[in-house]
Structure 1
Amino acid sequence: MNLLDDIHEKVILVGCQLPHVSDERFEYSMEELSSLTKTAQGEVVSIFTQKRHSPDSSTFIGKGKLEELAAFTKESGVDLVIFNDELSPSQLRVLASTIEAKVIDRTQLILDIFAGRARTREGKLQIELAQLKYMLPRLVGQGMNLSRLGGGIGTRGPGETKLETDRRYIRSRIHEIESQLQTVVRHRSRYRDRRKKNGVLQAALVGYTNAGKSTWFNKLTSSESFEEDLLFATLDPMTRRMELENGYTLLLSDTVGFIQDLPTTLIAAFRSTLEEVREADVILHVVDSSNEDNIGHQATVKNLLTELEADKIPRLTVYNKRDKKTEEFIPSHEENYVLVSVKDENDGTRLKKQMESFMKEELFVPYSVRIPADHGKLIAEMKSSTMIEGTTFIEEPEVYHISGFAHPNHRIYGELKKFE
């Protein structure tokens, strides 16, 4: 079943606000759950919320609230109830036996969206692995809930099969997928080693989901990746060559959007994909300046970068959608940043120039050399592999005086040292 099928299930959202969560943070969280539901082609008809000191160990929400929810579900004939937290296997069983509709949690919803978005073989394998690991501890005693699964949200990928009837098969399939993904990891590692040997630098676009990464990826690389005003519009990573204003070329990777409380099964399953971030030479952190919770989004991304051990990589913050930014928006002055809008034709150039300045400061070292005029091949390579600042031709003794910036680990830097 494809994510883009016209399903439009009627959905009830359920959230439980705990003491450590502010009203504002809780409201953003529920709005995000609503956006996730829209992405999965669901139609939110009602929202149930409750404040509690801690979730109920068996029913998550209080028994009185559960009775109210069950009655409303029966009367309204909704198809699906989505909880805004990850439910334990026992909570899921109790809720499924009480509510006359499919019951899933936020994690299962995100996994479902990812299953509909995956296009490459690797992406599909990673999603299936995450779904199987999520499903395995939740098989026992689901009974009524499994009989209600049918089609629709929460059933894409392995959920559509009868895998729940054979736990041994699931364990075997998990082992098989992990072996296949190890092969992918080794392939990526060889590719990265070859890239580093050739001295090609790589930048990675990261950011909260729907911040505008794919739009900027397309603009900066003149390519076409899927972009839409939906969460997780991009799933499978793409890498393309891009050229800065001064002629320097590097590789740019688009990555899956981050999200708060990203399911641990997804972080584990996508670790090989997110290696592109870990191995990048520079990170472009795209932030939606029009989102009221942009500060929270930035914190989420930074925390995940730390978890990926990518927090030490030089990072340029790209505040996107400056034409729509909120009145309260204030850039973080602790970091290098640039304010841009994809709607402004000049902002692509501005961003590239900011990247040049940032890379000169963080990654490159200056050089000043005299290259004989008959070294045309070296001069041509310098134009794409270094950042040339100035070129002067000296007639006697027919040499080019060239100054600029180069990466100290690039092979060409060793060549240039001969002509200083």
Structure 2
Amino acid sequence: MYEDVKISLENLKNAFDILSRENSEKKNKFLRKLAQRLDESRDYIISENNKDVQRARELKVKESLVDRLVLNDKRINEMIESCRIVENLRDPVGEVVDSFVREDGLKIYKIRVPIGVIAIIYESRPNVTIETAILALKSGNTILLKGGSDALNSNRALVGIIKEALDDVGLPRNAVELVEHTDRSVVDYMLKQREYIDLVIPRGGKALIDYVVSNSRMPVLETGAGVCHIFVDESADIDKSISVIDNAKTQRPGTCNAVETLLVHKNIASKLLPKLKELFDTKRVEIRGCEETRKIIDCNEATEEDWSTEYLDLIISIKVVSSLDDAIEHIKKYSTKHSEAILTENYSNAMKFLNSVDSSTVYINASTRFTDGGQFGMGAEIGISTQKFHARGPVGLRELTTTKFVVFGNYNVRK
């Protein structure tokens, strides 16, 4: 049934043998050509993307999720910029991580090498197709892309453009392959192909991630869901805090780094919450609050389920807490270990929060929306890893390599 997927995997494995040995100059030439082809293909990309967007709206998908699907000139510009940034980043392949010379002259080097064939399973967001492909290819890996059925036309168009750019510079066009099957059983098939796939990366909602982690026969780089928190300390500047909270919730509510739960110190709640509600009412943000929150502002009641929900929508849960310690305990209980922030003017509280919260990214006086490979100078990201091995936080070029030891001797023997 999935013979074409197996052929794609064989092609990827063969292409890896070539790409893993290519020099940086040729890989960078591909990135320049891809940027050019994306620019020249704007009308085609948008036309194919419109088919997906129109179908999503016909199915009455909520608008925050439709936004994740849209490709427009601004997002094409961002993809082009990602190509250019990644081109200018240092190629991690061949980097000497460590070295040691024994007394007998044996020279031992630990160097970075590509991982191999990477499979990524993701939902919506067709720009992920470009981001993941350029990072995988620049770091010498080949990649199997399994996007959602909602973005099939967009992904098909983008993968075609990537293949053309690979052809242009003489790199194997089969270094990137797209799974076009929409039946979910194809994921089960992929997760069994340990002979061909070296690493699988799920990028999407909690259900997808949990399924891949539970059923994969090869290593998984887990990119977790984002139940992100902001804690407003009693010393925080109210107006500046409202600006940060607004950005974290409303700039792009359908992303994993958008804030979902706001924790407010009881000593500042009566001053901050009415101002925040006034702003959120203008932006149609639904507030679900704890009992203390509802004494201060008119809002819906938050349930136990709300504290662990990634809304991906214009919804926020708010809890009034009595101390920094209470905020930290709440985060420990409900966080998905993605991104958390404290807004404060108290240095000691900031440091305690920083050292106590065990998430991939922790902020002091900044929006959680910055958790992004592009924002962190990586040009793009293949996902936000919420696990602890072998990568954590935004996954860029370096995180898509592993290491091997290379040993130089002079006919040495062990005694």
TM over 0.5, yes or no? no
TM-score (norm 1): 0.26
Higher RCO (CA < 8 A, seq sep 6+): 2
TM-score with structure 2 setting the length: 0.27
